[in-house]
């Protein structure tokens, strides 16, 4: 007992002199924003939100003896929870969310392999049809003008990344396939070639961001060369995404015995790295008390605070320092929310829009969508 007390006192002392800075808090559930009935004979699958507050929920026909359901239903509600649409889809088709301008995304296929993607309006009119998508991913730009079907990893060696104009539905640019190199290491022999890991249309001035291996470039669809280039971000690029109109987040790794994972925040217009965090992992133990440095879990709120939403419901926040326009990895606050059960069920991961977390739960034959405002 005495040893525990001394250890606790030492921890308080260390924190008080500034060697470590952290805080932890627990929270109850979020505010309910929608409750709807699950159609008879169907099960809840997932939900989607638009940036304007529309909500889409998809249900699958309950067929426990089948690997895939024959039918699905998706329902769309406006910001005031008025139902706008309830539509039955044929076998193999599913609802995949909203475009930035509130059009509907439908896909045909299973898991991560799609044979077709369609974008329709609320009246069911087909606006864009993209065949033979395969394992390529759908990526929208910041402004809702361009749609990319992006080939990542080794898919990029065999399939092109293609950009479509959302207004006309016409193809406007394609990149690749990118040939495999003779060696999968760079000239220094440090990094493995991992294929295309970033392909992000900007939606203005024909700009796009491209990341391959350990290199990131800002280029134009219709221009030679590049606007800026970072030859080595610090390791093999894992993934990247645009956090807002100013910042690009890139996660990377170095696969050595002392495994390194890293995160870089870049002012994407200028190629300027303004923040970096790195951690080392040895024998499954992390050297620093940091979250997993994955871009997939990373978000930016309206005050430019970085936060990681973990699968166990914890949120790690790094507050933006206005005086020097960056963040401090030693100033982290952690909040715990009741999201672990929701995430573990695999029925629609929480979504984050402008610093607010949205998640869904099932209660007595109903789907309930709730939100948690971090600010």
> Which pLDDT tens digit goes with each residue over 158-177?
899 999 999 888 999 999 89
pLDDT(70) > 80: no
pLDDT of residue 172: 93
- Band of residue 193 on the pLDDT scale cut at 50, 70, 90: low
Partners of 198 in the β-ladder:
211
pLDDT(216) > 80: yes
Least reliable range by pLDDT among 9-18, 69-78, 223-232? 9-18
Higher pLDDT, 193 or 65: 65
Least reliable range by pLDDT among 14-18, 47-51, 220-224? 14-18
pLDDT of residue 189: 52
> Which of these, 22, 25, 29, 23, lies nearest to 357 by C-alpha position?
29
pLDDT of residue 233: 95
Q: Token pair for residue 192?
A: 């493995």
pLDDT of residue 298: 94
pLDDT of residue 148: 95
pLDDT(200) > 50: yes
Higher pLDDT, 29 or 46: 46
pLDDT(209) > 50: yes
Span 259-268, average pLDDT: 96
pLDDT of residue 26: 55
Mean pLDDT for all residues in the chain:
85
pLDDT of residue 2: 46
Q: Token pair for residue 195?
A: 């294929």
- Band of residue 15 on the pLDDT scale cut at 50, 70, 90: very low
Encode pLDDT of 126-150 as tens digits: 999 999 998 899 999 988 899 999 9
| pLDDT above 70 coverage of the chain, percent | 84
Encode pLDDT of 318-338 as tens digits: 999 988 889 999 889 998 887
Q: By the 8 A CB rule, do 359 and 311 touch?
A: no
Encode pLDDT of 279-316 as tens digits: 999 988 999 999 999 999 899 988 899 999 887 778 99
pLDDT of residue 19: 38
288 vs 250: CA distance, rounded Å: 19
Helix (DSSP H) and strand (DSSP E) numbers for the chain: 2, 30
Running DSSP on this structure, what letter comes out for residue 156?
G
pLDDT of residue 290: 92
pLDDT of residue 185: 54
Q: Token pair for residue 111?
A: 């898991």
Contacts of 166 (CB under 8 A, 6+ apart): 99, 101, 103, 119, 127, 128, 144, 145, 146, 147
Q: By the 8 A CB rule, do 172 and 221 touch?
A: yes
| pLDDT above 90 coverage of the chain, percent | 54
Q: What is the pTM of this model?
A: 0.85
Q: By the 8 A CB rule, do 36 and 366 touch?
A: yes
pLDDT(275) > 70: yes
- Band of residue 194 on the pLDDT scale cut at 50, 70, 90: low
pLDDT(181) > 90: no
Least reliable range by pLDDT among 68-82, 282-296, 342-356? 342-356
pLDDT of residue 374: 78
Encode pLDDT of 234-258 as tens digits: 999 999 999 999 999 999 999 888 9
Encode pLDDT of 77-131 as tens digits: 999 999 999 999 887 888 999 998 899 999 998 767 888 999 999 998 999 999 9
């Amino acid at each position: 007992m005495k040893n525990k007390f001394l250890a606790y006192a030492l921890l308080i002392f260390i924190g008080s002199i500034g060697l470590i800075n952290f805080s932890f808090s627990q929270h109850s559930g979020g505010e309910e924003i929608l409750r709807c009935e699950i159609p008879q004979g169907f099960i809840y699958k997932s939900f989607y939100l638009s940036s304007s507050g529309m909500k889409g929920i998809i249900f699958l026909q309950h067929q426990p003896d089948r690997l895939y359901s024959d039918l699905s239903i998706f329902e769309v509600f406006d910001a005031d929870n008025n139902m706008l649409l309830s539509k039955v889809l044929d076998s193999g088709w599913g609802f995949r969310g909203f475009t930035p301008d509130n059009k509907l995304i439908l896909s045909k296929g299973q898991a991560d392999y799609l044979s077709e993607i369609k974008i329709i309006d609320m009246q069911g009119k087909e606006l864009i049809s993209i065949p033979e998508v395969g394992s390529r991913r759908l990526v929208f730009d910041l402004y809702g003008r361009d749609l990319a079907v992006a080939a990542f990893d080794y898919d990029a060696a065999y399939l092109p990344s293609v950009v479509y104009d959302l207004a006309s539905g016409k193809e406007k640019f394609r990149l690749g396939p990118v040939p495999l190199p003779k060696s999968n290491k760079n000239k220094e022999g440090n990094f493995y070639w991992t294929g295309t890991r970033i392909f992000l249309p900007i939606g203005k001035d024909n700009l796009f961001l491209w990341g391959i291996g350990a290199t990131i470039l800002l280029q134009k669809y219709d221009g030679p060369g590049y606007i800026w280039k970072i030859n080595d971000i610090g390791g093999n690029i894992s993934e990247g995404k645009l956090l807002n109109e100013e910042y690009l987040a890139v996660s990377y790794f170095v696969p050595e015995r002392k495994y390194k994972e890293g995160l870089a925040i870049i002012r994407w217009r200028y190629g300027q790295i303004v923040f970096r965090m790195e951690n080392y992992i040895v024998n499954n133990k992390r050297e620093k008390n940091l979250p997993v440095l994955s871009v997939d879990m990373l978000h930016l709120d309206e005050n430019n605070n970085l936060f990681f939403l973990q699968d166990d419901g914890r949120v790690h926040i790094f507050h933006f320092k206005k005086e020097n326009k960056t963040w401090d990895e030693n100033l982290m606050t952690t909040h715990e929310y009741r999201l672990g059960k929701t995430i573990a069920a695999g029925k629609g991961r929480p979504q984050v829009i402008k610093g607010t977390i949205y998640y869904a739960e099932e209660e007595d034959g109903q789907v309930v969508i709730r939100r948690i405002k971090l600010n």
